[in-house]
Structure 1
């Protein structure tokens, strides 16, 4: 595996959520040649997008009709969203933000360089968060693989679920992480005869 440029965020999947179509499209346009970006123009549309595809970072406006950004944030949290949420809003923060489950708060307008820096930072944080889950699941898969014959493993539904989760996490981490070789060091641990 080759090491990626640490400033390369081209594989990060970003969803810009703003009820003002021009604003959402403007931020998406700024990021178009920088990362994999799409826009949603309402809270329900954002939630549907997150349910249908892997989204790494959500750039979320707070003040939207029908469903506010705060409500979208709560629903993402309740669903166990495995990504990062950056509030991208013109709303002045108050003490209420102390109880909201977001990862960063940027006041509009945000220049392209600042947005790119925030996305890069949260890409790295997300990759390392997922790395912990990967190591946990991979150690379970590896110990079973080392101790139980393949015909028994392959017939076990739970083992197959864990193996699939490991593959999904590995692909996502490799896509996000500037140094995906860190995954290979985990393979050096012997689990036979434990």
Structure 2
């Protein structure tokens, strides 16, 4: 992350919308660079970028591909998908930090960037802690500890919206707290099932604070 004002890369092919995002974030004090397609995004991406906001549907290169390039190059930046595409099972394996559905308001966007650009003290950046610190992610994890479930079954078990379930599955996946496998039903249809993938998770922090989860509930 850069030492000065946080630097945000906006990747959005709707120019008016991208320019509006840029205006909002500049008024909030951020340095902003904008790209209207995937190729331009990769040209503008460098070590100065702290936060990248990606649309999933872009000309030339999809947001998912840009995300893979960012993670593959080990860029130290947070990534949020800001898109009109409803999340489905395919997002569980994607390495984003947040998933925001359009339309997005000014306050919602600036709060998102504020959160993603805030550096945590050393030792607190941990995907397991991120997952266990989220109440809805914990609810999904506890349900999966009882038995493997599809996303639809997890919606029924938790009472959460499908969009929320997919986002929390992504969070749990990044913390290596769940695994998935493809299941074929009697009609030949394919779907993903998810299961808690740990017997004991222990996160130790400074000051002796610790968080534990045990799939047996003990």
Interval of TM-score (by shorter of Structure 1 and Structure 2) = 0.5 to 0.7
Match of 1:116 among 92, 110, 120: 110
Q: Secondary structure at the match of 1:32?
A: helix
User: For 2:21 and 2:116, how far apart are their aligned partners in 1?
Assistant: 17
- Of Structure 1 and Structure 2, the greater helix share is in 1
Q: Which 5+ residue runs of structure 1 have no aligned equivalent?
A: 1-9, 133-194
Once the two structures are superposed, the pairs formed by residues 119-138 of structure 1 within 5 Å of their partners are 119-124=113-118, 127-128=119-120, 131=122
Structure 2: 5+ residue stretches without partners: 124-218
Deviation at 1:112, TM superposition (A): 0.9
Hey, what does 1:54 align to over in structure 2? 48
1:37 aligns with 2:29: no
**Greater strand proportion:** 2
CA–CA separation in structure 2 for the residues paired with 1:109 and 1:81: 28
What is the rounded CA distance, in whole Å, between the counterparts of 1:77 and 1:44 in structure 2?
Answer: 16
The equivalent residue for 1:88 is 82
Match among 77, 91, 96 for residue 97 of structure 1: 91
TM-score by length of 1: 0.58
Where 1:70 maps in the other structure, the secondary structure is helix
Match of 1:189 in 2: none
CA distance in structure 1 between the partners assigned to 2:110 and 2:73 by the alignment? 27
Deviation at 1:36, TM superposition (A): 1.2
- Provide the residue aligned with 1:171 in structure 2: none
State the shift of 1:128 in Å: 2.2
- The aligned length equals 120
Q: Could you report, residue by residue, the CA deviation over 1:84-110 in whole angstroms, capped at 9, with x for unpaired residues?
A: 001010111101000111000001111
Which residue is equivalent to 1:12? 6
CA shift digits 1:2-32 (9 cap, x unpaired)? xxxxxxxx92111110112122111111212
In the alignment, is the contact (CA less than 8 A) between 2:33 and 2:44 conserved in 1? no
- CA deviations 1:140-178 (Å, max 9, x no partner) are xxxxxxxxxxxxxxxxxxxxxxxxxxxxxxxxxxxxxxx
TM-align CA RMSD: 1.9
Q: Which has the higher contact order (CA 8 A, sep 6+)?
A: 1
The 4+ residue runs of structure 1 with deviation greater than 6 A are none
Moved more, 29-38 or 59-68: 29-38
Q: Counterpart of 2:49 in 1: which secondary structure?
A: coil
Alpha-carbon distance between aligned partners in 1 of 2:44 and 2:120, rounded to the nearest angstrom: 24
Distance in 2 of aligned mates of 1:83 and 1:49: 13
